[in-house]
């Protein structure tokens, strides 16, 4: 695992951004499955593919949620073509699929290119008790 400038974690088609403090980089787990199980924050996962037009549409929304909720949500992108075993484990049948995990358990699943407001609302509705401060909507949304 390696840390890249700008806060992106990149390794074998899994990217992690916004939510990990640079001092904690060496504490990243060795697998995606372990990451969603041991993270101290809820984990928002964007399952995507390079060839997927709707994935390109929703990607800026996921990045916005990650930036706005730094320290509240760990945000991860998983390329389903490069990590089919991860996609199969969570029965991903269409992309983009956005999931929220808490302590290894899926709390939310959306398939399709939803707008910012809909994704945020689903996150808020499924926010786990004990996860700390809830995500903050941007003023004017």
pLDDT in tens, 45-101: 999 999 999 999 999 999 999 989 888 899 999 999 999 999 999 999 999 999 999
Rounded distance between C-alpha atoms, residue 36 and residue 102, angstroms: 7
Rounded distance between C-alpha atoms, residue 97 and residue 100, angstroms: 10
Residue 22 pLDDT greater than 50, yes or no: no
Rounded distance between C-alpha atoms, residue 64 and residue 55, angstroms: 14
SS3 assignment, position 105: strand
Sheet order of strands, 43-48 included: 3-4, 8-11, 14-17, 74-79, 43-48, 97-102, 105-111
Which sequence positions are flagged as catalytic? Answer: 52, 55
Residue 103 C-beta-side C-alpha neighbours within 13 Å:
5
Residue 17 C-beta-side C-alpha neighbours within 13 Å:
20
Band (pLDDT 50/70/90 cuts) for residue 26 is very low
Structural domains of the chain ordered from first start = 3-125 (3.40.30.10)
Tokens of 53: 């037009």
């Amino acid at each position: 695992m390696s840390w890249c400038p700008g806060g992106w974690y990149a390794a074998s088609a899994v990217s992690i951004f916004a939510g990990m403090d640079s001092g904690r980089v060496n504490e990243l787990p060795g697998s995606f499955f372990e990451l969603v199980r041991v993270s101290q924050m809820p984990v928002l996962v964007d399952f995507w593919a390079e060839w997927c037009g709707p994935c390109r549409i929703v990607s800026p929304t996921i990045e916005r949620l990650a930036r706005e909720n730094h320290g509240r949500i760990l945000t991860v992108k998983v390329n389903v073509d490069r990590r089919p075993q991860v996609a199969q484990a969570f029965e991903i049948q269409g992309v983009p699929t956005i999931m929220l995990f808490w302590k290894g358990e899926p709390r939310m699943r959306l398939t399709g290119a939803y707008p910012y407001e809909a994704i945020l609302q689903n996150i808020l509705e499924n926010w786990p008790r004990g996860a700390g401060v809830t995500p903050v909507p941007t003023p004017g949304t």
